[in-house]
C-alpha cells in the first residue's frame, strides 16, 4: 500500500535526530580516546551521597550569595551580641554587672593582658579585611567579611574590659567571669562553623543543625557556669555531648575538602587543619573544668582562653583556612579538569605512537 510505505530518511534529518538525541541526554559522557587493547583512562570519581533518607530542606539563600549573605549574617550576630545580653538582663535571666566581680578580676588579671589581646585581634582584623580590595570571587569576599567580623568583635570585647566596661559577674564557685565574652563566643564560634562548612559538601540543613547546636551549647554552658543548683550538671552534659557532635562535624567537613583536593601540598595543609582544630577547640572546656575545680587560677585560666582565642580565630581561621579556602565544588571541578587534561594528553600520545 502506498499509505503504509515509509518515507526515506535523508542525511539532514538523520543528523538532526542525532543532535536532538545528544541534547536530550543529560547523562551523556564525553568519549575518551584510548589505545586498542588498553584499559579505559581514569576520570574524576563522581561524589557519593553521605547520607541517605535524611529529611532535608532548602533555605533559599542563593539570592543572598557573597557579600549580601555575609552582611545579613554579621548584622544578625551584632543584634545578638548588643541586644541579647541586655534583653536577658531585663528579663532577669542573667545578672547585671557586679563592681565587686570587676574589682576581683582586675586584681587577678591586669589590663595589659586584655590590651595585648585587643591589639592582636585588631591587627588580624585588618589582615582579613584587606582582601576585599583585590579578591573578585564571591566566596573569598564572603569569607573575608565573616572573618573580619570575628576579629573585630573579639577585639572589642577585650577593649571593653580595658576601659572599665563589659559585664563581669561571679560564677557559681565565686570566681569572676566575663559574661559578655560568652555572647561573643555565641556569635564568633557559630560564624567559624559556618565558614568551615563553605569548604564542604554539607547541605543547608546539615549546616543549620551544626550552627544551631553550637549556639545552643554556648547558652547551656553559660547557664551551667552561673547556676549553683545540681541542675547545672545535666546542662553541662548536654553541652559536652553537643560540643563533641560539632567537633565531629567540623572534622568531617574539613575531611571532605581534603578528599576532594587533587594537590598533594593542599591535602597536607587540610589534613593539618583537620587534626589540629579539635585540640584547639578543646582548650575552652579544659579551662572551664580546671578553673571550676580550682586547678588553675583566674589569671592562668584567662591566659589559656587567650591562647585558645589566638590559635582558633587568628592563626587557624586566618592564616591556614583563608589560604586554603576553596569550595568543595571548586575542588571537584579542579580534579575533573586535571583528569580530562591527563586523558587528552594520553589520547594524543596514543595517536602519535604507531598502532601495533
Q: What is the pLDDT of residues 171-191, one digit of tens each?
A: 998 999 999 999 999 999 999
Any residues with CB less than 8 A from the CB of 278 and at least 6 apart, and which?
247, 250, 251
Q: Residue 163 pLDDT more than 60?
A: yes
Q: Does residue 97 contact residue 88 with C-beta atoms inside 8 Å?
A: no
**Per-residue pLDDT, 270:** 83
Closest CA to 119 of 165, 81, 164, 162: 162
Identify which has the larger pLDDT, 101 or 138: 101
Identify which has the larger pLDDT, 328 or 198: 198
Find the mean pLDDT for residues 260-288.
Answer: 85
Closest CA to 251 of 203, 297, 199, 287: 199
Q: Residue 215 pLDDT more than 90?
A: yes
Q: How confident is the model at residue 311 (pLDDT cuts 50, 70, 90)?
A: confident
Q: How confident is the model at residue 323 (pLDDT cuts 50, 70, 90)?
A: low
Identify which has the larger pLDDT, 60 or 212: 212
**Per-residue pLDDT, 43:** 47
Q: Residue 18 pLDDT more than 80?
A: no
Using CA atoms, how far apart are residues 149 and 143, in angstroms rounded to an integer? Answer: 10
Closest CA to 187 of 83, 58, 298, 98: 83
Question: Is 0.85 topped by the overall pTM?
Answer: no
Using CA atoms, how far apart are residues 141 and 129, in angstroms rounded to an integer? Answer: 9
Using CA atoms, how far apart are residues 271 and 268, in angstroms rounded to an integer? Answer: 5
Q: Residue 20 pLDDT more than 60?
A: no
Q: Which grid coordinates belong to 99?
A: 563592681
Find the mean pLDDT for residues 179-207.
Answer: 89
Using CA atoms, how far apart are residues 9 and 1, in angstroms rounded to an integer? Answer: 19
Q: How confident is the model at residue 345 (pLDDT cuts 50, 70, 90)?
A: low
Closest CA to 254 of 191, 328, 308: 328
Long-range contacts of 315-319 (CB under 8 A, 24+ apart): 316/273, 316/276, 316/277, 316/280, 317/147, 317/150, 317/192, 317/195, 318/124, 318/127, 318/128, 318/147, 318/151
Percent of the chain beyond pLDDT 70? 70
Q: What is the pLDDT of residues 26-45, one digit of tens each?
A: 443 344 444 444 444 444 44
Amino acid at each position: 500500500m502506498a499509505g503504509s510505505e515509509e518515507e526515506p530518511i535523508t542525511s539532514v534529518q538523520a543528523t538532526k535526530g542525532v543532535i536532538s538525541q545528544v541534547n536530550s541526554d543529560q547523562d551523556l559522557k564525553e568519549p575518551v580516546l584510548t589505545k586498542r587493547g588498553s584499559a579505559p583512562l581514569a576520570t574524576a570519581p563522581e561524589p557519593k551521597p553521605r547520607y541517605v533518607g535524611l529529611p532535608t530542606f532548602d533555605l533559599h539563600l542563593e539570592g543572598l550569595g557573597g557579600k549580601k549573605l555575609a552582611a545579613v549574617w554579621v548584622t544578625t550576630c551584632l543584634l545578638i551580641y548588643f541586644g541579647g545580653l541586655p534583653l536577658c538582663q531585663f528579663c532577669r535571666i542573667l545578672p547585671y554587672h557586679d563592681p565587686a566581680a570587676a574589682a576581683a578580676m582586675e586584681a587577678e588579671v591586669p589590663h595589659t593582658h586584655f590590651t595585648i589581646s585587643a591589639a592582636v585581634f585588631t591587627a588580624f582584623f585588618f589582615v582579613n579585611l584587606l582582601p576585599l580590595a583585590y579578591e573578585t570571587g564571591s566566596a573569598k569576599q564572603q569569607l573575608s567579611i565573616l572573618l573580619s567580623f570575628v576579629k573585630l568583635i573579639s577585639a572589642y570585647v577585650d577593649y571593653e574590659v580595658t576601659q572599665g566596661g563589659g559585664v563581669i559577674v561571679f560564677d557559681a564557685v565565686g570566681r569572676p567571669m566575663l559574661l559578655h565574652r560568652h555572647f561573643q563566643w555565641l556569635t564568633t564560634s557559630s560564624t567559624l562553623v559556618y565558614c568551615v562548612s563553605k569548604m564542604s559538601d554539607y547541605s543547608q540543613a546539615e549546616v543549620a543543625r551544626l550552627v544551631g547546636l553550637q549556639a545552643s551549647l554556648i547558652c547551656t554552658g553559660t547557664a551551667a557556669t552561673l547556676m549553683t543548683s545540681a541542675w547545672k550538671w545535666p546542662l553541662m552534659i548536654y553541652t559536652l555531648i553537643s560540643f563533641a557532635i560539632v567537633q565531629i562535624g567540623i572534622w568531617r567537613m574539613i575531611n571532605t575538602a581534603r578528599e576532594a583536593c587533587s594537590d598533594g601540598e593542599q591535602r597536607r595543609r587540610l589534613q593539618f587543619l583537620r587534626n589540629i582544630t579539635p585540640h584547639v577547640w578543646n582548650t575552652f572546656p579544659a579551662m572551664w573544668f580546671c578553673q571550676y575545680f580550682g586547678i588553675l587560677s583566674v589569671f592562668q585560666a584567662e591566659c589559656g582562653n587567650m591562647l585558645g582565642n589566638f590559635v582558633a580565630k587568628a592563626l587557624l581561621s586566618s592564616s591556614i583556612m583563608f589560604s586554603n579556602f576553596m569550595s568543595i565544588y571548586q575542588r571537584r571541578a579542579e580534579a575533573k579538569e586535571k583528569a580530562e587534561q591527563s586523558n587528552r594528553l594520553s589520547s594524543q600520545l596514543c595517536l602519535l605512537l604507531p598502532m601495533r
